[in-house]
Amino acid sequence: MTAATQTCGTLFIVPTPIGNLEDITLRALRTLKEVDLIAAEDTRHSRQLLTHFGINTPLISYYREKEAERSEEIILRLEEGKNVALVSDAGTPGISDPGAVVVRQAHEKGITVVPLPGASALTTALSGSGITSTGFLFLGFLPAKSSQRRKALAALSSCEYPVVVYESPRRIDALLADALEILGERQAFWARELTKTFEDLQSGTLSDLLEKSKDGRNRGEFVVVICPGAKEEVKGQTLEELILWYRDNSELSLKDVSRQLAADLGISRSQIYQQALALWNK
């Protein structure tokens, strides 16, 4: 045990319900009652939760725009021996919510970090999806700007795992339309309003979900799972033939093709890139 861990407080990472208040754990409630301070993404939101359970622990705000500044303040409190609980508006802090900065700083300072298990939209959605893959790729929210979102989707065209993203009700139509155009028809799943009164789980093709999203009833954040596409056999014997196949049959960029072929063939990426550059726009 270091001197820091002997004199400093403990930083607890406390998941809170994503909708149904009954999903909070007994351990989370005890922790929120016993700590000296709660750092909340939105104190107004968290105060409603604490009031519901009769918890009067002091609150300070810890939101994205002030994350670096607030992290320093929280570290000072911990170094003074105070125990601090970190909560987000819903779910687990640090998972597409503020939290990772202060956790990293606590580790760097030798301060004890205790993550509690609990509510997460990611795992809740996956457990209800029926998707049998042994792995998945979680990307949180894709870029809001269309051009950047489309670029991110194009980079996922050859991903062998289901891709999981969060999306707002305002952008769900655009996400599904872009995914259909760039990735092609695929099996997909969405979960919205998880654990709430109007919880909605839907599976089908991207076209199916896009049609359903246009009914005007989109409320709450979505968790969207996009399954891998049918794997097409890469054809070509020479490096030139392989480059041209990727150019004509995939959505991968020149850089991504160079990276993929370098990994597959065990040769220099820069060497492949130079040859691909000469062929790409012919």
pLDDT digits 0-9 by tens, 44-102: 999 999 999 999 999 999 988 889 899 999 999 999 999 999 999 999 999 999 999 99
Looking at 119, 148, 169, which one is the last position of a domain?
A: 119
Q: Are residues 83 and 20 in the same domain?
A: yes
Q: Are residues 184 and 94 in the same domain?
A: no
Nearest-CA neighbor of 16 among 103, 95, 72?
Answer: 95
How far lies 243's CA from each of 155, 257, 269, 282, in Å? 16, 7, 12, 12
pLDDT at 39: 97
Residue located via tokens 């820069």 = 270
87-96, 181-190, 224-233: range with lowest mean pLDDT? 224-233
* pLDDT over 60 (residue 146): yes
In a domain, 54, yes or no: yes
Q: Structure pTM?
A: 0.79
How far lies 17's CA from each of 23, 29, 119, 216, in Å? 6, 11, 6, 26
pLDDT at 232: 62
Q: Are residues 111 and 135 in the same domain?
A: no
In a domain, 135, yes or no: yes
Question: Residue 151's domain spans which residues?
Answer: 122-226
Above pLDDT 70, what percent of the chain?
95
Residue 206 sits at the vertex; the CA angle it makes with 231 and 174, to the nearest 5 degrees, is 120
Above pLDDT 90, what percent of the chain?
69
Distance CA 139, CA 279 (A): 32
Mean pLDDT of 176-192: 95
In a domain, 1, yes or no: no
pLDDT at 1: 46
* pLDDT over 80 (residue 214): yes
Confidence of residue 4 (pLDDT cuts 50, 70, 90): low
Looking at 104, 119, 134, which one is the last position of a domain?
A: 119
Render pLDDT for 249-263 as a digit per residue (tens, 0 to 9). Answer: 776 788 888 888 887
* pLDDT over 90 (residue 231): no
Q: Are residues 114 and 126 in the same domain?
A: no
Higher-pLDDT residue of 232, 126: 126
Interhelix angle 206-213/172-183, nearest 10 degrees: 160
Q: Are residues 168 and 143 in the same domain?
A: yes
Mean pLDDT of 30-48: 97
Domain count, the chain: 3
Q: Are residues 102 and 199 in the same domain?
A: no
pLDDT at 5: 54
